[in-house]
Amino acid sequence: MKTVLFKKILIAILVLTGIFVFIPGVIALENSCIDCHKTLTPFIEEQQHFNQIRIQHLERNVACSLECHEDKVRQLATANYQQWSESVHALKGVSCDACHGGDPKQATKEKAHNFKNTTDPQSPVYYTNVPNTCGKCHPKELDNFENSTHYQKLESLQLAPTCTTCHHPHTFTKPNPEDFRNSCGTCHSVYKKIAPYDIPLTAEDLLRKVNKLQFNIEMAQQDIFWAQKNGTDVAQAKKYTDNALNTLGNLAPMWHEFNLTHFEDEINSANMDVKKAEDIVKPTTTPSKTASPKAPGFTGMAGLITLIAVFYMLRKK
């Protein structure tokens, strides 16, 4: 039994040896990173993108090293890349060099990474320089931010919120209303003794009102559409909704001024325009004419006779 098993193992070894020796091309002499790694790890979307970068580097004879491309998702560089890849910046082609500097066209890491460290006051992403860096693409937001108390304190005290306080680096998502309870509350709180203390809740409430305004505009647009189908003149209603839409579009840059009173006034003004549009396409129903009094029915007549009878009996007594 052992002899038979030994013969089978020996035959298998000889067959494998023959394959590796006599069949050309089985052993790849010029394997790339992809040739190995695609058989070792499942390809998630992020890894596929990194592999495309590796292929481009290999075509340009750029050495591939784990120092540049680490496949562990939780490593800092990879996590930053993953966050950026899901952002609006990525969709619009705004890559790392737009904020950090450097030259992505260079073949070597040393030449490509010719930017300053984020802790260097000369770096474009040093926290006091962030507004001007973001302002290159977001000039309206920068104009409003420069009119804010936050910006004045950032310039004078070097200590105040900046863009990345609310818009987290690499994701750059628009904060949800409830996010401001934490971001604003970091400073505006009884513990930090920075008034007004109700800013976090006020900010949250105002951003909910923005969402409600957007909903109101969409409902008005639907009502205008159906009113026009029914032959109603909706030209003026459309002007009102266009005004409301224009105000809504200006609210995002205006927010960065952090003048919450003015911000709320603009929301209320836009809602008034929406109401005017709705009044045109959904006019108030005119009250119908008052119906002429009807002759009393059987119940009324019975009640009247009862009253007369009671009155008569009282008189008789």
Encode pLDDT of 36-51 as tens digits. 444 444 445 556 666 6
pLDDT at residue 227 in the model: 94
Question: Could you tell me if residue 167 is inside a domain?
Answer: no
Q: Mean pLDDT over all residues of the chain?
A: 77
pLDDT at 244 over 50: yes
Question: Could you tell me if residue 165 is inside a domain?
Answer: no
Residues 6+ apart with CB under 8 A from 89: 95, 98, 172
Residue 171 pLDDT grade (very low, low, confident, very high; cuts 50, 70, 90)? confident
Question: Could you tell me if residue 260 is inside a domain?
Answer: yes
Closest CA to 238 of 223, 222, 248, 224: 224
Selected residue with higher pLDDT from 151 and 19: 151
Question: Could you tell me if residue 198 is inside a domain?
Answer: yes
Question: Could you tell me if residue 162 is inside a domain?
Answer: no
Residue 41 backbone phi and psi in degrees, to 5: -130, 145
Question: Could you tell me if residue 139 is inside a domain?
Answer: no
Q: In angstroms, rounded to a whole number, what is the distance separating the alpha carbons of residues 27 and 49?
A: 27
Q: What is the pLDDT of residues 174-202, one digit of tens each?
A: 888 888 888 888 888 888 888 888 999 99
pLDDT at residue 74 in the model: 45
pLDDT at residue 4 in the model: 57
Question: Could you tell me if residue 178 is inside a domain?
Answer: yes
Residue 62 pLDDT grade (very low, low, confident, very high; cuts 50, 70, 90)? low
Selected residue with higher pLDDT from 232 and 299: 232
The tokens of 272 are what? Answer: 């008034």
Selected residue with higher pLDDT from 206 and 186: 206
Which of 86, 106, 126 finishes a domain?
A: 86
Selected residue with higher pLDDT from 191 and 69: 191
pLDDT at residue 214 in the model: 96
pLDDT at residue 144 in the model: 94
Which of 86, 109, 137 finishes a domain?
A: 86
Buried b (16+ CB within 10 A) or exposed e, 90-108: eeeeeebeebbebeeeeee
Question: Could you tell me if residue 122 is inside a domain?
Answer: no
Residue 107 backbone phi and psi in degrees, to 5: -85, -25
pLDDT at 83 over 50: yes
pLDDT at 67 over 90: no
Q: What is the pLDDT of residues 93-131, one digit of tens each?
A: 888 888 888 888 888 878 888 888 888 888 999 989 999
How many domains in the chain? 2
Q: Once rounded to an integer, what is the mean pLDDT over residues 155-165?
A: 85
Parent domain of 218: 174-281
Stated pTM of the model: 0.60
- 37-42: long-range pairs with CB below 8 Å, 24+: 37/71, 41/71
* Whole-number percent of the chain with pLDDT over 70: 66
Least confident of 84-88, 117-121, 236-240, 281-285: 281-285
End-to-end CA distance of the chain: 135
Which of 67, 86, 105 finishes a domain?
A: 86
Closest CA to 62 of 16, 110, 18, 25: 110
Asked if residues 266 and 258 have their Cβ atoms less than 8 Å apart, the reply is no
pLDDT at 76 over 60: no
181 plus 82 within the same structural domain: no
pLDDT at residue 284 in the model: 55
Q: What is the pLDDT of residues 246-304, one digit of tens each?
A: 999 999 999 999 999 999 999 999 999 999 999 999 865 555 555 555 555 556 565 56
79 plus 178 within the same structural domain: no
Name the one residue in this structure whose structure tokens are 């992809």.
34
The tokens of 200 are what? Answer: 């976090």
